[in-house]
Amino acid sequence: MSMLKMSRRRVLGGMAAVLAAPAFVRNAKAAEVTLRLHHFLPPVAPMHSKFFVPWAQEIMDASNGAIEVQIFPAMQLGGKPPQLADQVKNGIVDIAWALPTYTPGRYPVAETMGLPFMVTNAEKTSVALHTLMDEFGGDEYAGMKNLAYWSHDGGKLHMRDKAIRTAADLEGMKIRSPNSAMGELLESMGAEPVFFPVTEMVVGLSNGVIDGCCLPYEVVPPFKLQELTKVSCEAAAGARGLYANTNTLLMNQASYEGLSDDLRGVIDANSGIALSQRIGKTFDEFEAVGRGIVEKNGNEIVEISTDEIAKWQEASKPVYANWQKTLDDAGHDGAAIIARANELLDS
């Protein structure tokens, strides 16, 4: 009897250890290399379960079990989302998902596609962003290997109560802004932009600190925004989206160079512009799912007309002028970068 009790304790202890472990792909064979991947969203987020977990498995399979990618969601390894790029550069983690907009002005070429109305859909915009970075942003992430760049679909205004159809409806509204450029535009139209990471947004909506937020539909499910907002306002079909934050998947350069030639080949084969396109396409799928959840919850979906969006685009011209100066001050040709970004989106 005591042997049975001891066995049960061991089984339960083993189960607890498994549940407490990071979310990584397990392999019966001992890996030659373990890479730690850090990101800021919870494990229920689609990006974690639908992309990072399968991608880690693909890396393991392609390396015949030699590379194991351990995934640590929700900032489990410490720090805050704006510190993720530095965690990669300093070797605290091997790979991380970072947002350039969380460190305004530090990676200005990568941030350019985060300007208002610089998004069509996620797939096309992600390819455009990767191309733009290849052409103009090669030195921005010194000390890191860029595995992919991508954007989500165009952001929408998710409001607690009030529908936004025109700029006049924004007057006095406190809206969580996704980046400084979008904050400039909202402020110019009478809103009060509020800045904090997406992970803190639920509290802001729950306690009334903000009246709404500017985000794509794909963020709705993991944070249950359909329960915290009643109205979602989106640009009319055919118009560019309100904004799209840029994203990067970064790898520590020393971690990459420390791999054998064949294992570096595995990383190379599972990164680059094809991966950026794949992630963008995946985000378009996430967007459709999120919109469906908003509809199913009975929330109102409001279309901001093409004519009204054109007025908002006109209002965004000073934002573009300010950003061009930011690029110029950083030693880039700001006008050429912005023109090329628009060319890529329109092609």
- CATH code for the domain of 34: 3.40.190.170
CA distances in angstroms from 307 to 26, 30, 233, 301, 333, listed in the order given: 53, 60, 15, 18, 31
Same domain, 224 and 269: no
33 belongs to a structural domain = yes
The verdict on 79 and 216 lying in the same domain is: no
Q: Are residues 119 and 191 in the same domain?
A: no
320 domain-assigned: yes
Q: How many residues does the chain have?
A: 347
> What's the pLDDT at 14?
39
Q: Are 32 and 81 members of one domain? A: yes
Please check whether residue 56 is in contact with residue 69, taking contact to mean a CB–CB distance below 8 angstroms.
Answer: yes
Q: Which of the 8 DSSP states describes residue 48?
A: I
Is 142 found in the same domain as 31? yes
pLDDT at 196: 81
Are 310 and 265 members of one domain? no
* pLDDT score recorded for residue 23: 54
Question: Is 144 in contact with 253 (CB distance < 8 Å)?
Answer: yes
> How many Cα neighbours within 13 Å face the side chain of 299?
29
pLDDT 10s digit of each residue in the chain, 347 long? 333 333 333 333 333 333 334 554 555 467 999 999 999 988 988 899 999 999 999 999 999 999 999 999 999 999 999 999 999 999 999 999 999 988 999 999 999 999 999 999 999 999 999 999 999 998 999 999 999 999 999 999 999 999 999 999 999 999 999 999 999 999 999 999 998 877 788 999 999 999 999 999 999 988 899 999 999 999 999 999 999 999 999 999 999 999 999 999 999 999 999 999 999 999 999 999 999 999 999 999 999 999 999 999 999 999 999 999 999 999 999 999 999 999 999 99
Asked if residue 8 is part of any domain, the answer here is: no
Same domain membership, residue 204 and residue 55? no
- Quote the number of domains for the chain: 2
Structural domain span for residue 269: 23-153+244-288
Q: Are residues 208 and 263 in the same domain?
A: no
Listed residue (144, 189, 124) closest to 345, CA to CA? 124
**For residue 65, is it within any domain?**
yes
Q: Does residue 5 lie within any of the structural domains? A: no
pLDDT at 10: 37
E strand intervals along the chain: 23-24, 33-38, 67-72, 95-98, 144-151, 156-159, 174-176, 192-194, 212-215, 231-235, 246-252, 300-304
Task: Indicate if 191 and 76 belong to the same structural domain.
Answer: no
Based on the domain organization, do 199 and 260 belong to the same domain? Answer: no
Considering the domain architecture, whether residues 93 and 218 belong to the same structural domain is answered as no
Are 194 and 342 part of one and the same domain? yes
